[in-house]
Structure 1
Amino acid sequence: VDGEHVVSGSYDHLVKVWALASGECLRTLAGHQGPVLTVAFDKDKIISGAADKTIKIWQLDTGQCQKTLFGHEDAVTTLTYDATTIISGSLDCTIRLWCISSGQCNGVLDWMSSEGHTGVIRCLAADPWRIVSASDDKTIKVWDRETLRRLVTLRNHTDGVTCLAFNDHVIVSGSYDKTVKLWDFSVC
């Protein structure tokens, strides 16, 4: 929600842009070949990830697809972005960092090379210095955004971690284990 719009993705493979005030569908964006599992947007663009293993960058005002990013080996389950970088997580248990302007993948965080997650990546959050990820493997991982080095793995949930948020002081996580946990972020 940006004050004027709501953007939705669906199992019908479509992304829709809605007028918040009226509830009217302003645009339907077709292009994914599988269910759309995650969307994020700002005043200029929409970024969507889908079961077809792709990420698409759309122009908000026209609905035109500007780029399609290929690289994940399974469904794209979550994503976040800033002015220069898209960070995506997948059913393939990897996190990928993409350059928005070129569409190139600039880094991969996986189990073999980075001591990454061993389960589906369910959610991601980032600031200019860190990436925080959560997974069905019951862990939360904090990464140095510049070096892509894993800083810490947090373990205390007894089932997959489904959502998270953080600031300079605390990480808040929710899980299939029906708990919400607060983590002291000052040590990360």
Structure 2
Amino acid sequence: MDKKNFEAWLESVSVSFLTLTDPQKNETLDHLIGLSGAVQLRHLSNNLETLLKRDFLKLLPLELTFYLLKCACTEVWQAACRQLGWQIDDSIQSARHWKMIYLKAKLRMKQLKEQEAFETSSLIGHSARVYALFYKDGLLCTGSDDLSAKLWDVCTGQCIYGIQTHTCAAVKFDEQKLVTGSFDNTIACWEWSSGAKIQHFRGHTGAVFSIDYNDELDTLVSGSADFTVKVWSLSAGTCLNTLTGHTEWVTKVILQKSQVESVMHSPGDYILLSADKYEIKIWPIGREINCKCLKTLSVSEDRSVCLQPRLQFDGRYIVCSSDIGLYQWDFASYDILRVIKMLDSANLSLLSFGEVFALLFDTHYLYIMDLRTERITGRWPLPAYRKSKRGSTDNHPGVHAHTNTFTHTGGYP
């Protein structure tokens, strides 16, 4: 119905109504049409109410009605969860499930604003500086200058295992073993149950700052102050290859599967990333021994911007913090997707980078950044730094000597 016909219909309905409600009056059509629009609208709302409120679902078969309601509610709650930054598993088609997720996320957002989202646990046991941390599935491994490594249950604060080691600069563990990189230029593999040293890796001529390994490949990788990256046989302890090209200390190595395709790699290919003060190098790695650098990433040609050893790679994106902010690369194209500049980037370090939120920290606070707005949405005060009884007393944010404090969000996305 076009506008002209609708207006004619509206006038005829109004005239009929007024004539029926006041039959004693012999008013002309012109007078009736001249009544206020409010009277005409009041008539429509009163007499068309039953038509406008018709429940069309009652006209459908019962099974179809239940299906439509179920799908609609699920999609509504999923959309609400997405807006809060929650990752959605489309295989779960339960409105009740997503409603509970939404309510939990809303509570978390409220707790973040009110600084109530984090629990602080004091893990007491080391007698010197804690250099190395690795967290997985509610367990935290700490490596210290007191020549020990400890495994903690962060929920209870209890130490599960303690192993006498060398001075640990890097640690990584699984259910059976612990791998440590040390300032003594070596790497060691330890058995949790007995504390025995299973394997010792010798070959670096500088401190080993970072390690990673993959049992499927039987491969261990390490980055060192000797400017090299070494590839080892995890079971045999032998060096398979030494990768050169870095001109600064290699402070971070990551061994990960690619999840995207490019002209240089396919999904499922194992990729090694190594980072120094200015560059990130990308290497193909697998069962072959020899490999060549695929790509070198940097943020400034004149080396005016320094990278921090806060490198993340999930198979799709590379993220690294720097003196001026956070950089994110697309792994398929190696293009820089975004640069998040911050006022105090020199003192802020990256802790974690997700789909919607990032965690940053300095010597005083843990910060939550909303990546959609690139703004800090909350912060949490870190415990005061405690000086070590042994060695240097340089401030190392978030890591404390003989009392290590670990803050966590209890599963926040």
What band does the TM-score fall into relative to the shorter chain? 0.7 to 0.9
Alpha carbons 2:220, 2:232 under 8 Å: kept: yes
Paired amino acid for 1:167: D
* 1:62 corresponding residue in structure 2: 194
Alpha carbons 1:91, 1:120 under 8 Å: kept: yes
* 1:149 corresponding residue in structure 2: 292
Pair 1:51-2:192 in alignment: no
Any idea what SS the aligned residue of 2:254 has? Answer: strand
| Structure 1 unaligned regions, length at least 5 | 111-115
Residue of 280, 287, 306 corresponding to 1:140: 280
The separation in 2 between residues aligned to 1:39 and 1:60, in whole angstroms, is 13
* 2:329 corresponding residue in structure 1: 183
The separation in 1 between residues aligned to 2:220 and 2:179, in whole angstroms, is 9
Alpha-carbon shift at residue 28 of structure 1 (Å): 2.4
Alpha-carbon shift at residue 178 of structure 1 (Å): 4.1
* 1:113 corresponding residue in structure 2: none
Pick which of 17-26 and 123-132 moved more: 17-26
Q: Please list the CA deviations of residues 41-69 of structure 1 after superposition, one character each: whole Å capped at 9, or x if unmatched.
A: 11111100110111110112222211111
Alignment of 1:81-100 (within 5 A): 81-83=213-215, 84-100=218-234
Alignment of 1:65-76 (within 5 A): 65-76=197-208
Alpha carbons 1:168, 1:186 under 8 Å: kept: no
Paired amino acid for 1:151: L
Alpha carbons 1:141, 1:153 under 8 Å: kept: yes
Residue of 134, 137, 141 corresponding to 1:3: 137
The separation in 2 between residues aligned to 1:21 and 1:46, in whole angstroms, is 21
Any idea what SS the aligned residue of 1:187 has? Answer: coil
The separation in 1 between residues aligned to 2:139 and 2:191, in whole angstroms, is 14
Q: Please list the CA deviations of residues 112-168 of structure 1 after superposition, one character each: whole Å capped at 9, or x if unmatched.
A: xxxx211111111122421111112x1111111144210111110511331212234
Paired amino acid for 2:180: S
The separation in 2 between residues aligned to 1:67 and 1:41, in whole angstroms, is 14
Paired amino acid for 1:87: V
The separation in 2 between residues aligned to 1:143 and 1:183, in whole angstroms, is 16
Greater CA radius of gyration, 1 or 2?
Answer: 2
Paired amino acid for 1:127: Q
| Same amino acid, percent of matched pairs | 30
Paired amino acid for 1:58: W
The structure-2 alpha-carbon separation of the partners of 1:156 and 1:105, relative to structure 1 and needing over 3 Å to count, comes to same
Normalised to the residue count of structure 1, the TM-score between the two structures is 0.88
Alpha-carbon shift at residue 169 of structure 1 (Å): 2.8
Alpha-carbon shift at residue 18 of structure 1 (Å): 2.0
Q: Please list the CA deviations of residues 14-50 of structure 1 after superposition, one character each: whole Å capped at 9, or x if unmatched.
A: 1112233322223322231xx3110001111110011
The separation in 1 between residues aligned to 2:194 and 2:314, in whole angstroms, is 34
The structure whose residues are more often strand, as a share, is 1
* 1:119 corresponding residue in structure 2: 248
Residue of 146, 151, 172 corresponding to 1:40: 172
Any idea what SS the aligned residue of 2:251 has? Answer: strand
Pair 1:29-2:163 in alignment: yes
Pair 1:160-2:289 in alignment: no
The separation in 2 between residues aligned to 1:23 and 1:64, in whole angstroms, is 24
* Superposed CA RMSD: 1.7
* 2:243 corresponding residue in structure 1: 109
The structure whose residues are more often helix, as a share, is 2
Alpha carbons 2:161, 2:192 under 8 Å: kept: no
The separation in 2 between residues aligned to 1:74 and 1:14, in whole angstroms, is 20
| Structure 2 unaligned regions, length at least 5 | 1-134, 258-269, 335-413
Q: Please list the CA deviations of residues 95-115 of structure 1 after superposition, one character each: whole Å capped at 9, or x if unmatched.
A: 0111111000111011xxxxx
Q: Which runs of 4+ in 1 moved over 6 A?
A: none
